[in-house]
Structure formats: structure tokens, C-alpha cells
A = this chain, B = another copy of it.
Amino acid sequence: MFFEGSEKKIEIIVTQDTPSLRSLGRPFWQSMVSKANAEILSSVSNEYCDAYLLSESSLFVWDDHFLMLTCGTTTLVHAATLFIDTLGVEAIAFASYQRKNEYLAHLQASSFEDDLKLLREKISGKAYRFGHLDSHHHYIFYSDRPYAAEQGDITNELLMYHIGGETAQYLTSSRQTIDGVRQRLQLNQLLGDFAIDDFLFEPFGYSVNGIRGKDYFTIHVTPQEDTSYVSFETNLDLTKQNVDIFATLLHALAPGAWDVIGFNAAPMTQDYPAHVRLGQCSLTMEQGYALHFSHYQRCEHQYLQPTEL
């Protein structure tokens, strides 16, 4: 039972004179989510943000920008083109579209190159691959219209593959509870003052969105043995937290390999589990985003067993 946990992601910032994206209302966002072949499960809101938990990941909508992540075999690029068609390209200040490293790219509905063709019919931009094709690699497209990133516009992404240890076992067990998962992910210690909205899937899998003012975080757990994947993403400045959030999650989930992607955020590796860095790559985007990608592998990686097919 293979499920592709790794996500595709769009983030679009609209121009100042565009009406609030939140005022587009739930039916519009529902149609965006359907276009990607996902569904809204629940939501949480505050003064600044509506956060939707999806059957396959998350959607965050602020007044002037939105962020949508979908996993599995969803077709997120169609949501991106729907958005541009609906608001018009002149309303787009900045758009980016990412695809994370996939376990089984050949099972996806499209390749990044296919997605790129559709995007470039709507908006011009640049596209890059980070990392070698025979190792972890990520794709990004971003619009090339003039735009200047706001001060403090940070994104931190931690993508964990092959989780291990007691937590990994718990996350695939039939005795897990939503409280048990929250505890093992240490949500209370790490991000206790966020309003959260979470969901425990059957027979396993867990998603959580959290918001606090304009800040957000999201975690998605695909614990299936052999192709397990857990992602964490936030716009928090990780250098200013009381706890090293990435390091804590890495120790809790004990992944065999992990990728760190930062926009205007450098990796802080000192408290990571013992590791080797297998690859790293950086890009300075004209709009004021310094993009950094690093791929790590745990040092004491297990001796692999052949997988019978």
C-alpha cells in the first residue's frame, strides 16, 4: 500500500490592490482544493489566517498570500493555474511552485516538466532543480515579475525520510491516539501557544496545522514502513525559538535521511543527530529570497534488508 507522502507546494503573494484573499470565501478555496484532487477536512482561523486541513495536506490563506501543500498523487498545478485564471496574472506579485523529492515519481500524475509547461502558459518565471537526479532532488518554479520580499519573510522546511525508533513504531500501531501523537511530536513543548487543528487518519497518518498571529506551522506524517515520510514547515525564525525545533523533531523521529530547505534561513546543524551531508545547493532569487537546500543522511544508517516483491 504505497502512499507518496512528499508534497507539492504553491505559494502566491498578490499585489497590494488585490482584495483580501480571505474574502474570496470558502467555496472558492473549496474549488481550489478540488482542482488539486483533495478535500477540506476542517479549519482553524484567527485574525490573520484561515488554515484548512486537507485530506492530502494543507492550505493557509492570509489576506495577501496563500500557501497550499498537497501530497499523494494530487494535481496541485491545476489549483495554481485556476488561481491565476481567476484573479488574473496582474494580481500576482510573486508565485512559487515546488515539488519535493518523491519516492516513486513514475506514479505521479505529471512530472515537474509537465507542470512547468502549464505554469509557463499562465505566468513567466524561472525553474531549477536542486540536487542530482539519482539522489534527493527538489524542483522550484518562481515568477520573474518585479517584487521585493518583505523583511522577515522566512520559510523553513524539514522533510524526513525513513523514520525510526519507538515513535515510528507508535505511528503505525493500532493503539495510537491523537493525544499520543501530539505528545510524541512534542507539539506542546515546541509550539504550545499555537491554535491547532489536527487529524488522525485510518489506519494511520497524521496531519496538523497550527497558527498564532501571522505565524503558521504544519506537520504531515506518512508513517508507512519502507516509504515513511514526515514533513514540518513553518514561517517562524528558528534561530529565535527557545528550543531547536528541527533538532528536536529529528531526535524524536530518527529519520534515515532528511532534507532541509530554507528561504532566507540557513540550516543550524549543530544539534542534529550525527549525520553526513550528501549534497547542498543554494540559489539567490532576484526578489530577495536566498534559497538553501541540504540533504543529510544519518551516520549510523541501518544495514538494509532486501525488500521482497
Stoichiometry, copies per complex: 2
Complex Cα gap A115–B126 (Å): 37
A121 interfacial contact with B, CB 8 Å: no
B residues in contact with A24, CB < 8 Å = none
- Do the beta carbons of A113 and B309 come within 8 Å of each other? yes
- Do the beta carbons of B103 and A106 come within 8 Å of each other? no
- From known contacts A105-B106, A106-B105, A135-B135, infer whether A128 and B304 are also in contact, taking CB-CB under 8 Å: no
Size category of the binding interface on chain A: 35 or more
- From known contacts A113-B309, A308-B127, A309-B113, infer whether A132 and B256 are also in contact, taking CB-CB under 8 Å: yes
Complex Cα gap A226–B282 (Å): 17
21 contacts between A and B (CB under 8 A): A104-B133, A105-B105, A112-B309, A113-B309, A127-B309, A128-B308, A129-B306, A129-B307, A130-B306, A132-B161, A132-B226, A132-B304, A133-B226, A134-B161, A134-B257, A135-B135, A278-B297, A278-B301, A280-B303, A280-B304, A281-B306
Given contacts A128-B307, A128-B308, 20 further A-B contacts (CB under 8 A): A101-B134, A105-B105, A106-B106, A113-B309, A127-B309, A128-B309, A129-B307, A130-B307, A132-B226, A132-B257, A133-B226, A133-B227, A134-B136, A135-B257, A278-B297, A278-B301, A279-B301, A280-B304, A281-B304, A282-B306
